[in-house]
Amino acid sequence: MTNTWRLGDLTVNRIGFGAMRLTGSAAFGEGVPADRERSIAVLRRAIELGVNHIDTAAFYFSPHLSANELIREALAPYPDDLVITTKVWPGRDASGAWWWAAPEQLRGQVEDNLRGLGRDHLDVVNLRVPPSRKDGPIGEHVAALAALREAGLIRHLGISNVTVRQLDEARAITPVVCVQNPFGIGAPATERELLRTCGELGVAYVPFFAIAGAGREAGATAAEPDEVLAVARAHDATPAQVRLAWTLHQGAHVLAIPGTGDPGHLAENVAAGNLRLSGEEVARLTALGAS
C-alpha cells in the first residue's frame, strides 16, 4: 500500500489532517472551546509526524478561534512540501449564520481564505456543493473557480459533496484533482461507485467523516459494531484506527483527513496509516455496508 498520492502536481502523504476540530470539541462553536496553545501544538506536532496535507475552511471558526488563523500562527512560514486545501461555496457571517455564495461571490470567499492563511495563492480549493443541489448543475460555480485559477489565486481545483454526474460536469470545464465526500464503513453503493470512478480517472478521493460516520460533525458515537471491535482487538488498535485503515485500503488514490484537537488522538490517527488489514478483514468490514 503506497503512502503517498498526488493532488495535481503536489504529492501528499495519504494521512492528512482536518482542521475542523481545532476551534472546539464540536464544530462551529458548539461544545467546549479549544485552548489556543493546545491547538497550535497539535498542528506543529502533525507536521513533526509527517503530515503534509491540511484541510481547512474560512468557515471553521468559533466565537474565539479561527482554524485558518491558527494554522498561520502555528506553521507560517510554511514548509515547502505542505499542501493546504480549503473549501468554498458555503460561508458563515460574523454571527455564525450560514449563507451560500453565488458564482460571483466565490472570489471573496477565496480571498477570505488567503487572508486568514496569510498566503498569496491557495494550493487546492474544493467547491463544496450544498445539499440542496444534490445531483443538480454546478457548472457556473465551477467555471467561476476555474477563472480564479487562471488568475493565479488557486493552483488546483477539487469538488466536494458530489455525484458521478457532477464530477463529469466539472471535469468537462476544468481539471479536477480531488473529490471530497463523506465516506466510511457502511457507505452506500453510490458512494463506492464514485470512489471507484475516481480511481479509474486518477483523481484523489478524500473522505470526510471516515471515523465519525453517522455522527458527522458531532463526532464518533460510542457504539461500534462487533466486527470493528474484533479487528481492533486483533491488531491492538482503536476502532478509529481500524476505520481509517479500512478507508485507506479502498484504493491507492484514497486520502484521509481525520481531525482532532487532542495530541494523543493525532498520534493514533497518523499511526493508522501503517495498520495493515488482511483481505478477509477488509471484506468483513466492507460487508457491514453492503447494499
The string of pLDDT tens digits covering residues 197-247 is 999 999 999 999 788 645 444 445 567 899 999 999 999 999 999 999 999
- The CA distance from 202 to 175, in Å, is 11
What is the reported pLDDT for 290?
Answer: 58
pLDDT interval class at 32 (50, 70, 90) = confident
Q: For residues 129 and 97, is the Cβ–Cβ distance under 8 A?
A: no
**Among the listed ranges 21-35, 57-71, 89-103, 159-173, which one has the minimum average pLDDT value?**
21-35
Produce one character per residue of 195-233: b if its CB has 16 or more CB atoms within 10 Å, e if not: beebbeeebbbbbbbbbbbeeeeebbeeebeeebeebbe
pLDDT interval class at 31 (50, 70, 90) = confident
Tens digit of each residue's pLDDT (9 = 90 or more) over 105-140: 999 999 999 999 999 999 999 999 999 999 999 999
What is the reported pLDDT for 218?
Answer: 45
Residue with grid cell 480549503, as numbered in its chain: 86
Exactly one of 5, 17, 59, 60 is catalytic; which is it?
60
Q: For the chain, what is the mean pLDDT?
A: 93
- Cα radius of gyration (the chain): 18
Q: What is the mean pLDDT of residues 10-20?
A: 97
Our answer to whether residue 205 is catalytic in this structure is no
C-alpha distances (whole Å) from 6 to each of 22, 83, 178, 229, 255 are 25, 10, 9, 32, 10
Tell me the three cell numbers of residue 122.
Answer: 491557495
- The CA distance from 151 to 114, in Å, is 14
Q: Say what the pTM is.
A: 0.94
Tens digit of each residue's pLDDT (9 = 90 or more) over 174-184: 999 999 999 99
Share of the chain above pLDDT 70, in %: 95
